[in-house]
Chains A and B, each alone.
Chain A
Amino acid sequence: MTRERELDRELLPTATGRRTAAAVGELLRPRRLLAAGAFTVLVAATAVGLLTAPLLGHIVDVVARGGSDFTVPVLALVGVALVRGAANAWGLSLVSRLGESMLATLRERFVERALALPLERVERAGAGDLTSRVTNDVAMIARSVREALPELGRSVLTIVLTLGGLALLDWRFLLAALLAAPIQLYTVRWYVRRAIPLYASQRVKDGAQQQQLLDTVGGARTVRAFRLTERHVGRVRRRSQDVVDITMRATRLVTRFFSRLNLAEFVGLSAVLIAGFVLVGNGSATIGTATAAALYFHSLFNPVNAALALVDDAQSAAASLARLIGVADLPGEQEPRHSGTPVDASVKAASLGHAYVADHPVLSDVDLTVEAGERVALVGASGAGKTTLAKLIAGIHLPTAGSIALGGVELGELGPAAIRRTVALISQEVHVFAGALADDLRLARPEATDEQLREALAAVGALPWAEALPDGLSTVVGEGAHRLTVTQAQQLALARLVLADPPIAILDEATAEAGSTGARVLERAADQALRGRTGLVVAHRLTQAAAADRIVVLDAGRIVETGTHDELVAAGGRYAALWEAWSDTRQQPG
């Protein structure tokens, strides 16, 4: 049951600013030579670029002197252009190598940690949390690394070197130019403070719109059947209008931001011109110097605006980074110091109890022993606690009371890795991994040969259709590729079970979604997949229960009956009533 999910949502952690910076440092450290190289090359490229203006000035001087030989300065200009272009290209590719390889390491560490998280933790956060981090946040950082980082680097270098050039002309020009800085800093602070919450709510509205469209478009057939078109178009319109409104709010903020930066430009330029007026007036600077200072400052407009406009990209990237590092830093599952070894394939649960929410027990006082090789069916109405019991035994949730032992070893003593080697859980959830069918199967056993894959498929009756796929086992399946039917996807899950080959297997309502015809195919497949294992089957169809060695009936979280099919039918209890409701219609009326 998935009910518990909406009660108490606890998002995965986000790293602090300090931790994020430290983590970036850790990523940077092994690449410091590359980083230094990239920085040096970009500085050189920018410095060479700044030679253009003096060279043009030199040409003017030659003309003013009445000369007519421009070969040297013009060739120098061509040389500058070539060197600048080459150095820029080199520097940029070094910067991307640095950023991209850091990002690759980070995302790999993230996925590794994310897959190692206890499922319980992921479910508490909602599956969307992890997915959005691995897609949106990684994409956000990648975009910053690809676009914002090089641009920011170039702009900052240009600004620093130009200000240096200004100081070389006369330190008082630099002082005048810096009058713009307080306005710029104030503007950035003003902007960031407003932009962060605004962009956060913009993302929320974008998400809501996307969700609504998925809901409406994905359910189009249902919308038409129930004539809900107007209701749904209305919802889409509202959500879409919300996006328009918030985007306009964001645009107004950005345009006000640039207006304030225009003010800074005006103040700085006026100050430099006034400084020129004063310095030329008292003879401490030439007119040429004053012109150069003003032109230098003018040429700063674009890089300054570019750098400041990237502040919010940088902010978003930092937020995404904190969300990735928050997960990458989570402790993995704790392996016990001394892992026990199961002696057989038995399952023993003693006075087991579980509650997702305090005081609302889903299971209480469950004592259950399954002998090695035995097949036990769990029977009960929806909400009786069958799925919870299955999850507890598979080690997915920790029970709030009681203990579970697999092969005589307590789960806690066994440790997560050994638990998963010992017991497999095939849940109601059907997922076909995107990629070749063979790759999907090899997740269960990476070293499996093609022959072994075929055997596993044959065991669950899936080989005929798998071989009939356009490219056989190499057919790309999953999201956006060849779509398997629900029955096929479930057969695939059972084939993975055969390949993973654990001594204990738990099947939970694996047949429910396949429709009645598919259900029978899957029952046969499940029977084959369980051969030679201790099996715990959450039986939905009673025929599946009747075929088990023993049946355990759950009601409201307690075991109310246990025994073989014949014993229970003879006992005339709850199972007998169930069986009657079922077989009433299935016995040939005589």
Chain B
Amino acid sequence: MPTGRSVLRDAIAGQRGLLAGASALGSAHQGGEALIPVIIGVVIDQAVSAGSLGSLVRWLVVLGVVFAALSFSYRFAARAAERAAEQAAHRLRLAVSERVLDPRGGAEAGRLPGALVNIATGDAKRVGAVNSVLPFAVAGLVGLLISAVLLLRISVPLGLLVLLGTPPMLVLAHLIGRPLERRSGVEQERAAHASGVAADLVSGLRVLKGIGAEAAAVARYRRTSRDSLAATLRAARAHAGHDGAILALTGIFIAVVALVGANLAASGDITIGQLVAAVGLAQFLLTPFQIFAWVGGQLAQARASATRIASVLAAPHAVLGGDGSPAEDGPGALRLRAVTHGPLTGLDLDVAPGELLGVVTIDPAVATHLLACLGRETDPESGSVELDGRPFAELDPTALRGAVLVAAHDADLFEGSLLDNVVTSGRDPERALAAAAADEVAETLPQGVHTMVAERGRSLSGGQRQRVALARALAADPPVLVVHDPTTAVDAVTEARIAGELREIRQGRTTVLVTTSPALLAVTDRVVVLDGGTVSAEGTHAELVHADEDYRTAVLS
């Protein structure tokens, strides 16, 4: 069971080779940076003061070598760290996608698609980013140790002052900053709201134009923008105050070190050179501590993100997976016994092999719940659904969906050509395209069936989308096909044609049409009406139209 902790741990452990390399090279870089001022001192001492051209050349060569070394070690440390970050994020993205697409489902429960995508992108990136900061934390630690040793060698009291004084000082700075930062976080969120409002108004542009509401929308945005500006400025002031406080504290700390060091130097305990070095090291020490604070912040973010990722990965499955496979090309008989689920209360229903059954639901929620059970998006609260005598629960969900295909009313199309969308198995789509009148859709498109369809089919109109989606379902040619309201956005002439073709192409295969469209119901062998949670009427379309007043109201109004 993944937890936030384990997600984060695995993201780090999975890249340990790269991380080790990056840490080693990063430490070398940090050491090189620390050596530069030392070499400057040596040049001043041995070359400039002594006037020795030989030492000047010699030490400049050394300086060059140190620069080359620190430059190359930084270069490869940064690359290794970044690769570790990106690879970890990549793996998490795939893990989240795979979990969402798991045949047993359940990951989407209670989450909007946008939120899930944010988890797969933003959160995965933040967890991965830990790998790009960890090597620098290690390098900072190494820098800290080196300076500590140097400082203690100069003077134990001065060294202890610097080493023990730095952390409390940083804690103090953190304490000053924390309330400010917290406030700034809240206010930044409010600021982000303005951008959301703008995007929302722009995406509703057509609606605004349709009712002439542009001026009202601009006025609303201006108010939001001003509120957001005020919030942002409060946050910015808090931030500036925090930065200023840290700067002042650092300066005071240096002054204290200088005071103690100067007294030690005045009493002859350390030399002037050592005083200068101690002040320099006190300044240098701030860097590693700042790195730690930064890494701490990144880790906190990554932990929150890892928890969100873990909650997706560990989401309970919506259905239990069996491991049985339905018989290859079985007869395709469906049997529902005492199915209770949501508004369904003890539904008994049999669909004979090869039958074309119409299902009319008075309450749309009944259709939704029935389809969820048939598509095994969920298991019914009680009762059983069987295919050719085998309970769904015994069957592997993926194998089952190969035998019982539920084509939802709001089924999505995907990015790719129209043909790509229709072909989901190896079968020839020609007949299915014609049966769903999707061939007519293709004719009106610039590149026919090879025209690219934008994400979620948004470049097509509602009616075009429905016909392509129906063609896809028919092309899959499953032993049992359940179709929900496939022609609500299709004109009457075409709908009638589709109804006839549908009957033709599904000849001998079990088909369930959940709809209130009379054109479709007229071609069915039998119609059942679901009301009050169970079957309330049954017969052919013609019989029901003739005899059942409620049916007429539901279907022919």
Shortest C-beta distance, A256 to chain B (Å), equals 7
Q: Is the CB of A92 within 8 A of B243?
A: yes
Q: With A and B bound together, what is the CA distance between A380 and B492 in angstroms?
A: 9
Q: Does B67 contact A (CB under 8 A)?
A: yes
Q: Does B248 contact A (CB under 8 A)?
A: yes
Residue of A nearest to B458 (CB): A2
Interface bits A202-231 vs B (CB < 8 Å: 1, else 0): 000000011111111111111111111100
Shortest C-beta distance, B347 to chain A (Å), equals 19
Q: Is the CB of B75 within 8 A of A256?
A: yes
Shortest C-beta distance, A37 to chain B (Å), equals 14
Known: A86-B248, A517-B364. A586 touches B491 (CB 8 A): no
Residue of A nearest to B78 (CB): A255
Q: Is the CB of A52 within 8 A of B251?
A: yes
- For window 102-137 of B, CB contacts with A under 8 Å fall at 103, 105, 107-108, 112-117, 120-121
Known: A131-B199, A241-B90, A255-B75. A515 touches B459 (CB 8 A): no
CB contacts (< 8 Å) of B94 on chain A: these are 233, 236-237, 240
Pick from A122, A276, A496: contact of B211, CB under 8 Å: A496
Known: A115-B201, A420-B212. A588 touches B552 (CB 8 A): yes
Q: Does B232 contact A (CB under 8 A)?
A: yes
Pick from A146, A493, A513: contact of B488, CB under 8 Å: A513
Q: Does B454 contact A (CB under 8 A)?
A: yes
Q: Is the CB of B444 within 8 A of A74?
A: no
Q: With A and B bound together, what is the CA distance between A284 and B80 in angstroms?
A: 48
Shortest C-beta distance, A557 to chain B (Å), equals 12
Q: Does B171 contact A (CB under 8 A)?
A: no
Known: A244-B87, A247-B82, A262-B71. A108 touches B221 (CB 8 A): yes
Shortest C-beta distance, A518 to chain B (Å), equals 7
Q: With A and B bound together, what is the CA distance between A84 and B64 in angstroms?
A: 35
In this complex, the member of B40, B202, B458, B541 whose beta carbon has the largest number of chain A beta carbons within 10 angstroms is B202
Q: Does B455 contact A (CB under 8 A)?
A: yes
Dominant secondary structure at the B interface: helix
Known: A131-B202, A512-B489. A429 touches B79 (CB 8 A): no
Q: Does B233 contact A (CB under 8 A)?
A: yes
Q: Is the CB of B74 within 8 A of A222?
A: no
Known: A381-B494, A383-B444. A112 touches B218 (CB 8 A): yes
Known: A213-B97, A215-B455, A515-B488. A100 touches B82 (CB 8 A): no
- For window 562-590 of A, CB contacts with B under 8 Å fall at 577-578, 581-582, 584-586, 588-589
Q: With A and B bound together, what is the CA distance between A269 and B209 in angstroms?
A: 63
Q: Does B149 contact A (CB under 8 A)?
A: no
CB contacts (< 8 Å) of B70 on chain A: these are 262
- For window 413-457 of A, CB contacts with B under 8 Å fall at 417, 420-421, 424-429, 431, 433-435, 439, 442-446
Q: Is the CB of A232 within 8 A of B97?
A: yes
Q: Is the CB of B240 within 8 A of A100?
A: no
Q: Is the CB of B216 within 8 A of A446?
A: yes
Known: A100-B229, A427-B206. A232 touches B63 (CB 8 A): no
Q: With A and B bound together, what is the CA distance between A520 and B556 in angstroms?
A: 10
Q: Is the CB of A270 within 8 A of B63?
A: yes
Q: Does B522 contact A (CB under 8 A)?
A: yes
**Interface stretch among B335-343, B403-411, B530-538?**
B403-411
Q: With A and B bound together, what is the CA distance between A93 and B236 in angstroms?
A: 6
- For window 500-557 of B, CB contacts with A under 8 Å fall at 515-519, 521-522, 541-542, 545-546, 552, 556-557
Shortest C-beta distance, B122 to chain A (Å), equals 10
Q: With A and B bound together, what is the CA distance between A247 and B87 in angstroms?
A: 11
Q: Is the CB of B492 within 8 A of A429?
A: no
Known: A104-B225, A225-B401, A428-B462. A380 touches B255 (CB 8 A): no
In this complex, the member of A56, A101, A138, A211 whose beta carbon has the largest number of chain B beta carbons within 10 angstroms is A56
Shortest C-beta distance, B216 to chain A (Å), equals 5
CB contacts (< 8 Å) of A146 on chain B: these are 232, 236
Q: Does B214 contact A (CB under 8 A)?
A: yes
Q: Is the CB of A258 within 8 A of B75?
A: yes
Q: Is the CB of A266 within 8 A of B247?
A: no
Q: Does B398 contact A (CB under 8 A)?
A: yes
- For window 67-85 of B, CB contacts with A under 8 Å fall at 67, 70-72, 74-76, 78-79, 82-83
CB contacts (< 8 Å) of A97 on chain B: these are 233, 236
Q: Is the CB of B476 within 8 A of A226?
A: yes
CB contacts (< 8 Å) of B200 on chain A: these are 433-434, 478-479
Q: Does B60 contact A (CB under 8 A)?
A: yes
Shortest C-beta distance, B322 to chain A (Å), equals 16
Q: Is the CB of A431 within 8 A of B211?
A: no
Q: Does B197 contact A (CB under 8 A)?
A: yes
CB contacts (< 8 Å) of A542 on chain B: these are 492
Q: Is the CB of B195 within 8 A of A513?
A: no
Shortest C-beta distance, B521 to chain A (Å), equals 7
- For window 514-529 of A, CB contacts with B under 8 Å fall at 514-520
Q: Is the CB of B44 within 8 A of A101?
A: no
CB contacts (< 8 Å) of A78 on chain B: these are 251-252, 255
Q: Is the CB of B407 within 8 A of A225?
A: yes
Q: With A and B bound together, what is the CA distance between A509 and B557 in angstroms?
A: 18
Shortest C-beta distance, A125 to chain B (Å), equals 12
CB contacts (< 8 Å) of A265 on chain B: these are 67
Residue of B nearest to A487 (CB): B364
Known: A255-B79, A509-B489. A220 touches B100 (CB 8 A): yes
Q: Is the CB of B275 within 8 A of A60?
A: yes
Q: Does A500 contact B (CB under 8 A)?
A: yes
- For window 139-186 of B, CB contacts with A under 8 Å fall at none
Q: With A and B bound together, what is the CA distance between A517 and B51 in angstroms?
A: 97
Q: Is the CB of A84 within 8 A of B408?
A: no
Known: A85-B244, A222-B408, A509-B462. A298 touches B37 (CB 8 A): yes
Dominant secondary structure at the A interface: helix
**Interface stretch among B2-10, B258-266, B294-302?**
B258-266
Q: Does A394 contact B (CB under 8 A)?
A: yes
CB contacts (< 8 Å) of A584 on chain B: these are 496, 522
Q: With A and B bound together, what is the CA distance between A500 and B216 in angstroms?
A: 11
Q: Does B16 contact A (CB under 8 A)?
A: no
Q: Does A64 contact B (CB under 8 A)?
A: yes
Q: Is the CB of A581 within 8 A of B67?
A: no
CB contacts (< 8 Å) of A433 on chain B: these are 200-201, 204, 207
Q: Does B292 contact A (CB under 8 A)?
A: no
In this complex, the member of A87, A277, A387, A420 whose beta carbon has the largest number of chain B beta carbons within 10 angstroms is A277
Q: Is the CB of B272 within 8 A of A226?
A: no
Q: Does B472 contact A (CB under 8 A)?
A: yes
Pick from A280, A380, A425, A518: contact of B491, CB under 8 Å: A380
Q: Does A22 contact B (CB under 8 A)?
A: no
Q: With A and B bound together, what is the CA distance between A398 and B499 in angstroms?
A: 38
Q: Is the CB of B424 within 8 A of A226?
A: yes
Residue of A nearest to B472 (CB): A226
Q: Is the CB of B201 within 8 A of A216?
A: no
Residue of A nearest to B451 (CB): A6
Known: A381-B493, A428-B461. A225 touches B79 (CB 8 A): no
Q: Is the CB of B209 within 8 A of A420?
A: yes
Known: A226-B472, A433-B200, A516-B516. A96 touches B240 (CB 8 A): yes
Known: A429-B207, A443-B216, A589-B546. A251 touches B199 (CB 8 A): no
Q: Is the CB of A434 within 8 A of B409?
A: no
Q: Is the CB of A107 within 8 A of B225?
A: yes
Q: Is the CB of B225 within 8 A of A108?
A: yes
Q: With A and B bound together, what is the CA distance between A513 and B48 in angstroms?
A: 84
Interface bits B222-233 vs A (CB < 8 Å: 1, else 0): 100110110011
Shortest C-beta distance, B162 to chain A (Å), equals 15
CB contacts (< 8 Å) of B36 on chain A: these are 269, 298
Q: Is the CB of A585 within 8 A of B521?
A: yes
Q: Is the CB of B240 within 8 A of A1?
A: no
Residue of A nearest to B94 (CB): A237
Contact sample, A vs B, 10 pairs, CB 8 Å cutoff: A74-B262, A81-B247, A82-B248, A89-B241, A216-B101, A222-B412, A259-B72, A274-B56, A277-B47, A435-B197
What 5 new A-B contacts, CB under 8 Å, besides A96-B237, A502-B212? A107-B194, A214-B455, A221-B108, A273-B56, A446-B216
